[in-house]
A and B are shown apart, each in its own frame.
Chain A
Amino acid sequence: MSVLEVDKVSIRFGGVQALREVDLRVGEWEIVGIIGPNGAGKTTLFNCITGFYEPTSGAVRFRGRDITAMPVHRRTALGLGRTFQNVGLVKNTTVAANLATAQHLQTEYDAWTGFLGSPATFAEERRISERGALILDLMDLSDVADERVADLPYGVLKRVEIAAVLATDPDLLLLDEPGSGMGPEEAHALGDTLLRLRKEFGLTIVMIDHHVPLVTRVSDYVYCLNFGEVLAAGRPDDVRRHPEVVRAYLGEPDQPAEPAEPVIPGGTAGPLSTQEGAPA
């Protein structure tokens, strides 16, 4: 049974058809990449999966259970964890405090018990902060634990965000551009981290990213979206070379000469070589 099943999901915003009958299957332990030009509907698809938008039609199923109309926080309880394109952290507190907040569902006392100052909450708070420290250590972030989130650079925050979403105990990780703001080396290291997380925690991962080398290296399967529709889906290398995909990124070729090694621009950062580690 697939972990995540997106079944003919469409969504309209006024006159704009943001998604049109998008199908997506994610199997256990898979890493699935979603690529596509800006405005293709990738984040909208994420918002439909995690519950920020309700699709106009179609269904989203998590482990066979229909979650199309389930509120966001209940999906988190089921094991859907997501990060945001613009860093999704509580900015005015420390990294450690964010980790504690993210363990909301793992905190084993009632909020009212905590308010009344029951002694048991003190011990549980200690356990929560220790667990948070453990997760930060795992992501090599121990040295920023007491820093205010607003004071940290973007690339670090992207890692803090993954640490925070790990703290929610997810089964399925949905990462919205985890590699943005990272250079080639950092993106490579991020790829290693993702592979390690899958191995150590048995996670299934869906990621949106413009870093095509990163996506093609770690993904088992890649979807390419354009104008709210699935343009191509398949093994990373096949999708990357798919003529429709190349056209979506580069527009209609002037000359029919198709380069053996297609060049795909990532975001607005300029052309990206498909070679791993090449300058972005």
Chain B
Amino acid sequence: MSTTEETATIPRATGAPTDAETTAVLAPVPAAATPEGRWRPGRAGWLARGAVWLAVAWLVLALPANQLSPITIGPADVDIASRAVIFAIGGLSLHVLLGWCGQISLGHQAFVGLGAFTSAYLVTDLGMSFWFAIAVAAGFGAVQATLLGMVSLRLTGLYFALVTLAYGAFAENTLFGITSLTGGEGGKPAARPPGFESPENYYYLCLAFLALVIWLDWRLTRTKGGRAMAALRENPRVASAYGINVRAYTLMAFAVSGIFAGIAGSLTAHHDEIIVKSSFDFRLALTFVLMTVVGGLRSRVGVVIGSAFFAILEEGAFVAMVEGLIGGLGFTPTFFESVIGLPAEFVGLVVGPILLLLTLTLYPGGIGQQIAPITRWLGGRRFDRHAGAVREVEVDDVRA
């Protein structure tokens, strides 16, 4: 932050505007030409929107359960879909920090992992119910994230990011290595809650939690706390002049992020049914950052889509899908391995950073920015191809 104009000992560089500028800036303010809220689509417009909404609902709700679905989907694919939903919760968790509050966390694997091991320990070793365990995991997530925030917020910028990175490594190597709690190398079993053992039912359970997280995230941004975060993200000085306790609200962002991460962790544990600490390595934290940024900061839909995409990429389902598709066109079915020379398990490692670079250079708003015309249209507004063209998200938006 430049303090040039504040240290009044240095003469002001910009100076007062000249006469010409003065008249220019005082030209009458263009009234809002088309009050966006007034416009309502016609009957055909509503029908078209309804059809798209139905298609999306079908894709999300009916397809994985093989109900009303022309394609048969195997249980493994449903598990991948559940993973995508869990990743979406994880993405929204990181997004509270990265998108709403402008703080980066490179230790998110610890946030999620702690939730996973807490839940597994409570269910397997203490015999608690899943519902109690997920609540405790969320609470634990909030506590550890707040503690990390309290320590690391003493630093800013790159050093702050380094502390979160170190915390992730600490959790990975020390915390998750406590055999009595985490089962060590053998892993810790975590049974699915009764009634949700089948992949389909577990998928719906995850979906319900995603809905809850989206609702909470939405309420956050529409109320006091979210507004405070938006203000302190952009300008902490103005935020404090508005009476916002910058530190307290940054810590609140950490706590909320921790709650969401705890939920995601608990769901991960019971999804895998046995969790090992190697699932929570630094790569996971990196994937979280990638999917949040590629999904689009400040776009809830974008983050959900981006996270789901990265889950599919991680699981190798993306590679299988692409190879199946080009295999159908007569190419060799091991396209990535034999043509590009890239083993299938490394595709995710290459595609992710490429997408990140494309996002940062072309679409700082990520997927959320690219689909803005569609989401706005679905929201009952006029179709505008240029919606989202205003660069609401800047690359340097995230401190650190």
Interface residues of A (CB under 8 A from B): 13, 16, 18, 38-45, 47, 50-52, 71-73, 76-77, 81-82, 84-86, 88-93, 97, 100-102, 104-105, 107, 109-112, 114-117, 121, 125, 143-144, 146-148, 152-156, 164-165, 168, 180-183, 186, 210, 228, 266-269, 279-280
B245: chain A residues at CB < 8 Å are 71, 73
Distance to closest chain B CB from A172 (angstroms): 13
List, sorted by A's number, 8 A–B pairs whose CB atoms are closer than 8 Å: A38-B8, A39-B11, A40-B8, A41-B8, A44-B9, A52-B6, A90-B231, A114-B223
Interface size on B, residues (CB 8 A): 54
B243: chain A residues at CB < 8 Å are 73, 76-77, 104-105, 168
Which one, B22, B219, B241, contacts A183 given CB within 8 A? B22
Judging by beta carbons under 8 Å apart, are A41 and B9 in contact?
A: yes
- Give me 14 other A-B pairs in contact (C-beta within 8 A), A45-B8, A183-B22 excluded: A18-B7, A39-B12, A52-B237, A73-B246, A76-B240, A85-B5, A89-B238, A92-B392, A100-B227, A115-B225, A125-B222, A147-B32, A181-B16, A268-B15
Distance to closest chain A CB from B123 (angstroms): 25
B215 at the interface (CB under 8 A from A): yes
B216 at the interface (CB under 8 A from A): yes
B180 at the interface (CB under 8 A from A): no
A266: chain B residues at CB < 8 Å are 16
Interface residues of B (CB under 8 A from A): 5-12, 15-19, 21-27, 29, 31-32, 35, 215-216, 219-220, 222-228, 230-231, 234-235, 237-246, 249, 252, 256, 390, 392
A85: chain B residues at CB < 8 Å are 5-6
With A44-B8, A183-B26 known as contacts, the answer to whether A146 contacts B237 (CB < 8 A) is no
Which one, A13, A105, A156, contacts B9 given CB within 8 A? A13
Judging by beta carbons under 8 Å apart, are B242 and A104 in contact?
A: yes
B8: chain A residues at CB < 8 Å are 18, 38-45
B249: chain A residues at CB < 8 Å are 111
Alpha-carbon separation in the docked complex, A156 to B243 (Å): 23
Judging by beta carbons under 8 Å apart, are B224 and A104 in contact?
A: yes
Judging by beta carbons under 8 Å apart, are A125 and B223 in contact?
A: yes
Judging by beta carbons under 8 Å apart, are A182 and B224 in contact?
A: no
Judging by beta carbons under 8 Å apart, are B241 and A44 in contact?
A: no
Distance to closest chain B CB from A21 (angstroms): 16
**Which of A125, A153, A164: most chain B CB closer than 10 A?**
A153
Judging by beta carbons under 8 Å apart, are A115 and B227 in contact?
A: no
Alpha-carbon separation in the docked complex, A38 to B7 (Å): 11
Which one, A50, A51, A77, A269, contacts B17 given CB within 8 A? A269
With A114-B220, A267-B16 known as contacts, the answer to whether A228 contacts B9 (CB < 8 A) is yes
Judging by beta carbons under 8 Å apart, are A153 and B18 in contact?
A: no
Which one, B19, B26, B222, B238, contacts A90 given CB within 8 A? B238
Judging by beta carbons under 8 Å apart, are B32 and A114 in contact?
A: no
Alpha-carbon separation in the docked complex, A81 to B392 (Å): 28
Distance to closest chain A CB from B252 (angstroms): 6
Distance to closest chain A CB from B79 (angstroms): 31
Which one, B5, B11, B12, B242, contacts A101 given CB within 8 A? B242
Distance to closest chain A CB from B396 (angstroms): 13
Alpha-carbon separation in the docked complex, A266 to B22 (Å): 14
Judging by beta carbons under 8 Å apart, are A182 and B18 in contact?
A: no
A152: chain B residues at CB < 8 Å are 29
Alpha-carbon separation in the docked complex, A273 to B233 (Å): 42
Judging by beta carbons under 8 Å apart, are B219 and A115 in contact?
A: yes
Distance to closest chain A CB from B89 (angstroms): 16
